[in-house]
Amino acid sequence: MDQNIYKKAILENDYVVKTDLEGNITFANENFCKISGFLQNELIGLNYNKLIKLDQLNKQVNRKMLKTIFLGRNWQGIIANRTKNDDFFYLDTSIHPIKNDQDQITEILSFGNNVTDHIKLLKYDKLTNLKNRESLRLEIKKDKHYISVIANLDNFSEVNEFYGGYTGDMVIKEAARRLSLIFSKDCVFRLQSDEFAILIPLPYRYDKEFYIDDVRNRLKSLFDESFVIEEIDHYISATFGLHIGNDNLLRNANIAYKNSKKFNENFSVYSDDMYYKFADFSNNKKVAFEIKEAIAENQITPYYQPIINNKTGEVDKYEALARIVKEEDVMMPGTFLNISKKIKYYNDITRAMILKCFDNFKDMNDKQVSINLTIEDISNIRTFNFIIEQLSKNKNNEFITFELVETEGIDDFELFDKFVNTIRKFGANISIDDFGTGYSNFSYLTKMEPDFLKIDGSLITNIENEKDFDVVKSIVDFAKMYNIKTIAEFVENEDIYVLVKELGIDYSQGYHFGRPVPFEDITF
Interval 350-377: pLDDT, tens: 999 999 999 999 988 889 999 999 988 9
428-441: pLDDT as tens digits: 999 999 887 644 56
What percent of the chain clears pLDDT 90, i.e. is strictly above it? Answer: 49
Query: Which amino acid would we find at residue 284?
Result: N
Beta carbons within 8 Å of 321's beta carbon, 6+ residues apart? 302, 303, 304, 305, 333, 372, 516
Fold of 124-270: Alpha-Beta Plaits (3.30.70)
- DSSP character for 122? -
| Range(s) within the chain of domains with CATH label 3.30.70.270 | 124-270
pLDDT range class, residue 297, cuts 50, 70, 90: very high
Of the candidates 482, 483, 514, 486, the one whose C-alpha atom is nearest the C-alpha of residue 500 is 486
Class level of CATH domain 294-521:
alpha beta
Measured CA to CA, the distance from residue 152 to residue 510 in angstroms comes to 40
374-424: pLDDT as tens digits: 988 988 889 999 999 999 999 899 999 999 986 555 555 677 888 999 999
Instruction: Give SS3 for 79.
Output: strand
Give the pLDDT of residue 158.
Answer: 82
pLDDT range class, residue 487, cuts 50, 70, 90: very high
Contact in structure between 424 and 399 (CB atoms under 8 Å): no
Give the pLDDT of residue 247.
Answer: 78
Give the pLDDT of residue 372.
Answer: 96
Give the pLDDT of residue 505.
Answer: 97
Give the pLDDT of residue 392.
Answer: 95
| Range(s) within the chain of domains with CATH label 3.30.450.20 | 3-120
Contact in structure between 454 and 372 (CB atoms under 8 Å): no
Measured CA to CA, the distance from residue 189 to residue 139 in angstroms comes to 11
- CA dist list (Å): 350 to 341, 344, 414: 11, 12, 22
Measured CA to CA, the distance from residue 149 to residue 240 in angstroms comes to 7
Contact in structure between 320 and 405 (CB atoms under 8 Å): no
Output the average pLDDT for the chain.
87
Of the candidates 97, 47, 54, the one whose C-alpha atom is nearest the C-alpha of residue 79 is 54
Give the pLDDT of residue 284.
Answer: 78
| Range(s) within the chain of domains with CATH label 3.20.20.450 | 294-521
Beta carbons within 8 Å of 193's beta carbon, 6+ residues apart? 156, 172
- Which among 86-100, 104-118, 464-478, 490-504 has the top mean pLDDT? 490-504
What percent of the chain clears pLDDT 70, i.e. is strictly above it? Answer: 90
Alpha helices in 126-182 (DSSP H): 133-140, 156-163, 165-182
- CA dist list (Å): 464 to 435, 459, 467: 18, 9, 9
Give the torsion through C-alpha atoms of 458, 464, 468, 470, to 10 deg. Answer: 140
Instruction: Tell me which of 120 and 449 has the higher pLDDT.
Output: 449
User: For residue 423, with 0-12 CB atoms within 10 Å meaning exposed, 13-18 middle and 19 or more buried, which class applies?
Assistant: buried
pLDDT at residue 225 tops 90:
no
CB neighbours (10 Å) of residue 248?
15
Give the pLDDT of residue 56.
Answer: 44
In this structure, of 97-106, 214-223, 410-419, the range with the lowest mean pLDDT score is 410-419
Measured CA to CA, the distance from residue 518 to residue 511 in angstroms comes to 15
CB neighbours (10 Å) of residue 466?
8
Give the pLDDT of residue 102.
Answer: 82
Give the pLDDT of residue 282.
Answer: 61
130-166: pLDDT as tens digits: 888 878 877 776 567 889 999 999 988 888 778 888 8
- DSSP character for 49? G
Give the pLDDT of residue 439.
Answer: 45
Give the pLDDT of residue 334.
Answer: 86
Alpha helices in 125-280 (DSSP H): 133-140, 156-163, 165-182, 208-220, 249-262, 272-278
Instruction: Give SS3 for 160.
Output: helix
Give the pLDDT of residue 57.
Answer: 47
Contact in structure between 40 and 34 (CB atoms under 8 Å): no
20-29: pLDDT as tens digits: 988 899 999 9
- CA dist list (Å): 103 to 65, 71, 97, 168, 424: 19, 11, 10, 43, 18
The whole-number average pLDDT for the span 215-241 is 88
pLDDT at residue 344 tops 70:
yes
Fold of 3-120: Beta-Lactamase (3.30.450)
